[in-house]
């Protein structure tokens, strides 16, 4: 060990914690070693962190936080560890343990649903405490899935009588006539992500039973027109593809005892040129209404494959560079005729 290399020893008190910390085939500890530029090894009853002084200190802080998370019953997945490292890099390592134990709902198969990032935790809190919440952020941040989980929780607790999920049927304005099949065949492909979330949370059998009884309704946005929705939990998904008129129509459907969540990604607007996104417009118009909650999720809240976070970040950087490029002037205007 050269003079610039330091090491810190941490006594192992729980072999099960150590097993989870290292992960299958050491995948977790390899992730930590790579991200923090350290070498972590297990010798007898000690975890030894080796590296430069600052890196070793970071490693010790991370393991201390992961111990707290583990004590609260949270599994040490690569996702959990990666997010804890992100917080450590931002100087927020003490906030990592806040994520443990916040189970929203247990799925039909006994899987706990919980926020996995601080952004998601704030989002869930807003849904709990506001009658109308906007969840705005990129793909993979759990906007729709968490909203569906909160809807099922409210339904099970008898806070609402039914769940209504809706989204614009097609990106360019719900023109379904050219598609083959009956109306259900035309609409279902656009509503499939909503079905998937309900299948996962409730199980197929319960979902179908609730659908048959009218307790759950999944429909294109056009079906909301003219209705007043009382004692319902309503979710509008893919809201970036609504027009201003459609968004206003949806928001004014909210009835007594109801709660609504609007989700969307304003970087993926697929409306025709010249049509302004109803989600962007609503976020601007309603931003000062205290009773409405706005949760802005980011690439840090992505809970899909780790590459998704990097892809979103790369696109953001590319878009910023594109915006900074000077516009090309039409040189033909300066030519002598």
Q: Which distant-in-sequence residues (6+ apart) come within 8 Å of 246 by Cβ?
A: 168, 221, 278
Q: Indicate whether 135 and 45 sit together in one domain.
A: no
Alpha carbon distance 81, 83 (integer Å): 5
Q: What is the largest CA-CA distance in the chain?
A: 87
The pLDDT score that the predictor gives to residue 44 is: 81
List beta partners, residue 113. Answer: 105
Q: Indicate whether 193 and 289 sit together in one domain.
A: yes
Q: Which distant-in-sequence residues (6+ apart) come within 8 Å of 74 by Cβ?
A: 80, 99, 100, 101
Query: Containing H/E element for 189?
Result: helix 183-202
Query: Containing H/E element for 172?
Result: none
Residue 258 lies in a domain: yes
Q: Indicate whether 131 and 110 sit together in one domain.
A: yes
The pLDDT score that the predictor gives to residue 310 is: 72
Residue 312 lies in a domain: no
Q: Indicate whether 136 and 246 sit together in one domain.
A: yes
Q: Indicate whether 155 and 294 sit together in one domain.
A: yes
Q: Indicate whether 86 and 141 sit together in one domain.
A: no
Residue 249 lies in a domain: yes
Q: Indicate whether 161 and 281 sit together in one domain.
A: yes
Q: Indicate whether 202 and 249 sit together in one domain.
A: yes
Which parts of 215-324 fold into alpha helices (H)?
A: 244-251, 278-285, 306-324
The pLDDT score that the predictor gives to residue 171 is: 44
Residue 321 lies in a domain: no
The count of C-alpha atoms lying within 13 angstroms of the C-alpha of 130, restricted to the half-sphere facing its C-beta, is 21
Q: Indicate whether 186 and 269 sit together in one domain.
A: yes
pTM, entire model:
0.78
Residue 324 lies in a domain: no
Range of the domain at 64: 6-99
Residue 307 has φ and ψ, to the nearest 5°, of -65, -30
Alpha carbon distance 107, 112 (integer Å): 6
Query: Containing H/E element for 35?
Result: helix 27-36
Q: Indicate whether 229 and 295 sit together in one domain.
A: yes
Alpha carbon distance 183, 61 (integer Å): 57
Residue 296 lies in a domain: yes
Q: Indicate whether 281 and 226 sit together in one domain.
A: yes
Cβ density class 63-72: b for 16+ within 10 Å, e for less:
bebbbebbee
Q: Indicate whether 220 and 134 sit together in one domain.
A: yes
Q: Which of 61, 82, 99 is the last residue of a domain?
A: 99
Query: For the domain that residue 88 is a member of, what is the CATH number?
Result: 3.30.1370.10
Residue 322 lies in a domain: no
Residue 335 lies in a domain: no
The pLDDT score that the predictor gives to residue 305 is: 63
Q: Which of 51, 81, 99 is the last residue of a domain?
A: 99
The pLDDT score that the predictor gives to residue 188 is: 66
Contact 132, 90 (CB under 8 A): no
The pLDDT score that the predictor gives to residue 158 is: 93
Query: For the domain that residue 294 is a member of, what is the CATH number?
Result: 3.40.50.300
The pLDDT score that the predictor gives to residue 190 is: 67
- Total domain count, the chain: 2
pLDDT tens, N- to C-terminus, the chain (337 residues) = 555 788 899 988 888 999 999 999 899 999 999 999 999 999 888 999 999 999 999 999 999 888 888 887 777 888 888 888 888 888 877 777 777 667 788 887 878 888 888 899 999 999 999 999 999 999 889 999 999 999 999 999 999 999 999 988 654 444 545 445 555 555 566 677 778 888 888 888 998 999 899 999 988 888 888 888 899 999 999 999 999 999 999 999 999 999 999 999 998 888 888 889 999 999 999 999 999 999 999 888 887 666 766 787 787 677 677 666 665 555 554 554 4
Q: Which of 99, 132, 149 is the last residue of a domain?
A: 99
Contact 133, 251 (CB under 8 A): no
């Amino acid at each position: 060990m050269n003079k610039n290399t330091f090491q810190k020893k941490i006594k192992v008190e729980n072999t099960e914690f150590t097993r989870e910390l290292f992960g299958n085939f050491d995948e977790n500890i390899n992730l930590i070693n790579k991200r923090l530029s350290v070498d972590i090894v297990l010798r007898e009853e000690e975890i030894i962190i080796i590296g430069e002084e600052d890196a070793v200190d970071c490693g010790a802080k991370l393991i201390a936080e992961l111990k707290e998370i583990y004590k609260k019953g949270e599994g040490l997945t690569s996702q959990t560890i990666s997010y804890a490292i992100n917080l450590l890099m931002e100087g927020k390592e003490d906030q990592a343990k806040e994520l443990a134990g916040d189970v929203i709902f247990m799925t039909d198969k006994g899987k706990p649903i919980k926020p996995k990032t601080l952004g998601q935790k704030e989002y869930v809190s807003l849904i709990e405490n506001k009658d109308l919440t906007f969840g705005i952020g990129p793909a993979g941040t759990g906007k729709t899935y968490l909203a569906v989980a909160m809807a099922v929780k409210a339904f099970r607790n008898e806070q609402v009588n039914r769940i209504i999920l809706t989204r614009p049927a097609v990106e360019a304005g719900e023109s379904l006539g050219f598609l083959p099949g009956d109306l259900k065949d035309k609409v279902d492909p656009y509503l499939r992500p909503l079905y998937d979330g309900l299948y996962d949370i409730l199980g197929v059998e319960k979902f179908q039973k609730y659908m048959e009884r009218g307790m759950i309704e999944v429909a294109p946005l056009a079906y909301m027109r003219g209705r007043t929705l009382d004692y319902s939990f309503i979710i509008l998904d893919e809201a970036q593809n609504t027009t201003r008129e459609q968004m206003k129509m949806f928001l004014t459907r909210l009835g007594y005892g109801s709660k609504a969540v609007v989700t969307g990604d304003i970087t993926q607007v697929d409306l025709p040129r010249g049509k302004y996104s109803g989600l962007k417009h609503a976020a601007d118009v309603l931003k000062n209404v205290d009773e409405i909650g706005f949760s802005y999720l980011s690439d840090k809240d992505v809970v899909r494959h780790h590459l998704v976070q990097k892809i979103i970040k790369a696109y953001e950087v590319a878009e910023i560079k594109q915006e900074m490029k000077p516009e090309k002037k039409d040189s033909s205007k300066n030519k002598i005729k």
